[in-house]
Structure 1
């Protein structure tokens, strides 16, 4: 699939067998299986295959969707990354600290899937949704309990997302920045702990500027610090809030599958481009 949007910017999620060809027309790809295989049962050489993640049961197929033309490689000077679910898989440690907080407040624990849906709008929203919006009076105490526990355990099980180190290597020489709703203290602690802090010239957390994402203030502050214009940058994230932020800031926004957002959520948010992960990001832009 082409990045130029020649196919009208349409998503390939619903019909991965429809492959664009010259002039914007499409041809159908024969389905894989008995009818499409040779006598040996093997798929004929040269036939396109779905990416590995797309072949896993229950996972969304890869989306390559372009709603506007991305910056050309030679004009791309800046890449801004979200953290949770984009560069670092933090879900287990966040859920562990959320459930420590809930036990301390004599409340029922949350499943890891519930916690996943609470992440992305900042720690206060995480705590409010975890304790329940009808218990708003518990938020301050919950924040304290969560923060104390997370300070000790934020790197117990958190790891770089697949392809993160290689992706950052490929973007060496460009200005890299962080724009996360996670508090800046924890952002820097995790970047240091996982050995990637030196890759970033600008680091912004949810308490670094007056407004969190989806406000564009954080992105604008990062671009100003790096001396870059919106048209020279891309924003990479894994949740609809990242898409909203990029749109508000006028920055080409790439949403990645495999993080905290589902394929359906990202498709509904209409980012400029949806890709299968960091390795694909590096192949297309580095």
Structure 2
């Protein structure tokens, strides 16, 4: 299938959230450090946090804790959510040109599928004045399975009555790319996000600037 044929069919663009639309690393780091401040565990910096994100908050806490601390998982998770829910956008911002790009893609149906909880994803988008751009926002708790399972994407396609052939997904991690492959849709890896470019090797396209998304799905129409 040629690129021209692909983009001429696109109706729905699905976006990942963290590392694709927004940079939330500092606020997640702050919430992690608050949640572990009385445990004796070392505080994390943003680079360490970035290595943990992508599979949802519960999984983040599990990866963070050494085996001896796993019995305290629920308590630490509760402390994380307590802090993070009150500090969602202290430092979190859209990546440059995200709003401009979404404006320029207004003729397309757009959705967000994140492994972050749905209520938190929507609240962040709302407070950053991004929620209005999206027809649907799904989180890691919106369906029975999370990315890289195809379940959230299949659920979305059924909800919107849009075929896989008319859909592309943009994300910064192999989790997003695998989810797209598993659901039978095309994928666009964004290399400006959290994960290394080599983790996006299976993406159909790579872009290093959100503005180039317009070229892939719009300019060649």
Normalised by the length of structure 1, the TM-score is 0.73
Instruction: State how far apart, in whole Å, the 1-side matches of 2:149 and 2:169 are.
Output: 14
Q: Is the contact between residue 167 and residue 282 of structure 1 (CA under 8 Å) also seen in structure 2?
A: yes
Q: 1:132 Cα shift?
A: 2.6
Which structure has more relative contact order (CA 8 Å, sep 6+)? It is 2
Report the number of matched residues: 218
Q: 1:84 Cα shift?
A: 0.3
2:148 aligned counterpart, secondary structure: coil
2:37 aligned counterpart, secondary structure: helix
2:146 aligned counterpart, secondary structure: coil
Aligned to 1:108: 42
Instruction: State how far apart, in whole Å, the 1-side matches of 2:161 and 2:108 are.
Output: 12
Q: Is the contact between residue 71 and residue 232 of structure 1 (CA under 8 Å) also seen in structure 2?
A: no
Normalised by the length of structure 2, the TM-score is 0.94
Change (3 A) 1:106 1:253: same
Q: 1:226 Cα shift?
A: 1.5
Q: Which runs of 5+ in 1 are unaligned?
A: 5-68
Aligned to 1:99: 33
User: 204, 211, 220: which one pairs with 1:272?
Assistant: 204
- Which has the larger helix fraction? 2
Pairing 1:240-259 to 2, within 5 Å after superposition: 240-259=174-193
Aligned to 1:282: 214
Q: Is the contact between residue 71 and residue 233 of structure 1 (CA under 8 Å) also seen in structure 2?
A: no
Q: Which runs of 5+ in 2 are unaligned?
A: none
Instruction: State how far apart, in whole Å, the 2-side matches of 1:117 and 1:249 are.
Output: 25
Q: Is the contact between residue 246 and residue 252 of structure 1 (CA under 8 Å) also seen in structure 2?
A: yes
2:206 aligned counterpart, secondary structure: strand
Q: Does 1:199 align with 2:136?
A: no
Greater mean deviation of Cα atoms: 134-143 or 193-202: 134-143
